[in-house]
Amino acid sequence: MFYSNGFFRVEINSRYTADLDDKERLALEYIREKGKVSRSDLEKLLKLRESSVRKLLERLQRKGLVVKEGRGKNIKYKLAC
Whether residue 34 lies inside any domain: the answer is yes
Tens digit of each residue's pLDDT (9 = 90 or more) over 8-59: 665 555 556 668 899 999 999 999 999 999 999 999 999 999 999 999 999 9
Whether residue 8 lies inside any domain: the answer is no
Whether residue 74 lies inside any domain: the answer is yes
The model carries a pTM of 0.78
**Three-state secondary structure of the chain:** CECCCCCECCCCCCCCCCCCCHHHHHHHHHHHHHCEECHHHHHHHHCCCHHHHHHHHHHHHHCCCEEEECCHHHCEEEECC
pLDDT band per the 50, 70, 90 thresholds, residue 3? very low
Residue 56: CATH number of its domain: 1.10.10.10
Taking alpha carbons only, the member of 59, 63, 56 closest to residue 14 is 63
Q: How far apart are CA 79 and CA 81, in angstroms?
A: 6
- The count of domains in the chain is 1
Parent domain of 26? 22-79
Whether residue 2 lies inside any domain: the answer is no
Of residues 28 and 7, more confidently modeled: 28
Whether residue 50 lies inside any domain: the answer is yes
Whether residue 7 lies inside any domain: the answer is no
